[in-house]
A and B are shown apart, each in its own frame.
Chain A
Amino acid sequence: MIPAAFDYAAPTTVDEALALLAEHGEDAKLIAGGQSLLPVLRLRLNAPEFVIDLGRIDALRGVRDDGGALVVGAMTTHATVATDPLIAQHAALVSKAVRTVADAQVRNRGTFGGALAHADPAGDVGAPALALGAQFVIAEQGGGRRTVDAGDFFVDLFETAIGEDELLTEIRIPKHTGWGAHYEKFVRIAQQWSIVAVAATVRAEGGTIAEARVALTNMGATPLRATAVEELLRGRPATEDAIRDAVSSVADGTSPPADLNGDADYRRHLARVLTRRAVLTAATG
């Protein structure tokens, strides 16, 4: 299976990439690591006339410390994010979730920003970014940058706040130093997309949950932040019974998909079980 023919450019700066986007409009498609796009092109589910490769823009790669936040370049690979010591120290939830993405070969090519911009509801990077209150830096035509909060970034199925003539440059992740973290992913076979997964990070104080942040993967068209459950967890003892009670409403009001892997009720059940496990592990290690 071979993609339909397209023209190709590999700009070396964000400005050049933006100019190409402006020039080619809706005929153009950005390629980051290509691990989701290339299968789509090969199956000819999409056939852009022009492909703009972001792989030569060095400024979009790397992780840096910016005081209260870590800044992850959009073209940083999953493999780099998963093993980066700064991320492990200050945003452990991201390290743990990214290690579950696809398989090693895909993590060596696939990028953190590419996966976030692709916004597959079963992808594993959206929920941790949402739980940690990440901010998304988007390059606009004309050289400006705007910043979008995680709560506004995910708009719908495969749809984000990034405009057609814009591109994602950086993800700013507020530091959660010392917080326990766990990503509980439910799949039935290796290298499967999440049927349901739960991202949880907890600041524990002497056996009590002082603060918790929880987000759900594949329980709707976008990652979902479980803010009501976060409030219920505050001040609870970090025990299985107390957490089970606090998270029992986590699936209320969700509209999870129904497919061959499970119907919506099954996914709601999974969300309750996986949230309990994720929070308990995050709180107690």
Chain B
Amino acid sequence: MTKIHLTVDGGAVSEDVEPRMLLVQFLREKLGKTGTLIGCDTSNCGACTVHLDGRAVKSCNVLAVQADGGEVTTIEGLAATYDGGELHPVQAAFHECHALQCGFCTPGMIMRSVDLLNENPDPTEDEIREGLEGNLCRCTGYHNIVRAVQTAAAAGKGEEQ
């Protein structure tokens, strides 16, 4: 077992883990943060996307020990660590645009979309589609997801003015 210390959704966490434990297992099984989903288990689908030190990563493809000392944000802490509100602006935009059907890909889509808008606050439609290439929606509801990211980007611009 290896002792790890990290920050998850704003709170300090210390746990003993097996080195082989994946970050997504750590979040779900040790911390009970089941908002982060396991989709494909092959690092293709992006459902397990969280932020590690501010960047989107696939938590099924990171060992928990690799996150030692790091700062993890999941869908569960996204709004609280942003401004303490109920919904992050990207979550609000997904709600407003009905950017989900079954909802399984949604946590990962939102976490990657936030990262995308941090990199590029005013993306074109093509940049959004390419930027989300690591997240699969098997309901194929991509149109509303793209609209939601555009809506969140426009709202962000409004805030800056």
Contact = CB atoms under 8 A, between A and B. Distances in A.
A35 B134 CA distance: 13
B41 interface: yes
**Count class of interface residues, chain B:** 20 to 34
A109 B61 contact: yes
A105 B57 contact: yes
Interface residues of A, number: 29
Contacts of A251: none
A11 interface: no
B43 A2 contact: no
A105 B61 CA distance: 10
Contacts of A109: 52, 57-58, 61-62
B55 interface: yes
B61 A38 contact: yes
A191 B134 contact: yes
Interface string B55-81: 111101111011010000000000000
A180 B135 CA distance: 32
Contacts of B135: 103
Given A108-B57, A191-B134, A51 B62 contact: no
B19 interface: yes
A53 B41 contact: no
Chain A contact residues: over half helix, strand or loop, or mixed? mixed
B19 to A, nearest CB: 3
Contact of B56 (A4, A5, A6, A108): A108
B18 A191 contact: no
A133 interface: no
A158 interface: no
Contact of A34 (B18, B63, B115, B134): B63
A82 to B, nearest CB: 11
Contact of A6 (B20, B41, B42, B58): B20
Nearest to B56: A105
Nearest to B131: A104
Contacts of A31: 63, 66
B11 to A, nearest CB: 23
A159 B149 CA distance: 42
A86 interface: no
Contacts of B42: 1, 39, 42
Interface string A177-215: 000000000000011000000000000000000000000
A3 interface: yes
A4 B21 CA distance: 10
B44 interface: yes
Interface in B116-148: 116, 130-131, 133-135
A79 B55 contact: yes
Given A39-B42, A191-B44, A34 B20 contact: no
18 contacts: A6-B20, A7-B19, A8-B65, A34-B61, A38-B22, A38-B63, A53-B63, A55-B66, A102-B134, A104-B115, A104-B133, A105-B112, A106-B61, A108-B57, A108-B115, A190-B130, A191-B44, A191-B133
Interface of A: 1-8, 10, 31, 34-35, 38-39, 41-42, 51, 53, 55, 79, 102-106, 108-109, 190-191
List 7 A-B pairs, minimum CB-CB distance, nearest first: A103-B134, A8-B19, A190-B133, A108-B55, A3-B20, A105-B58, A105-B134
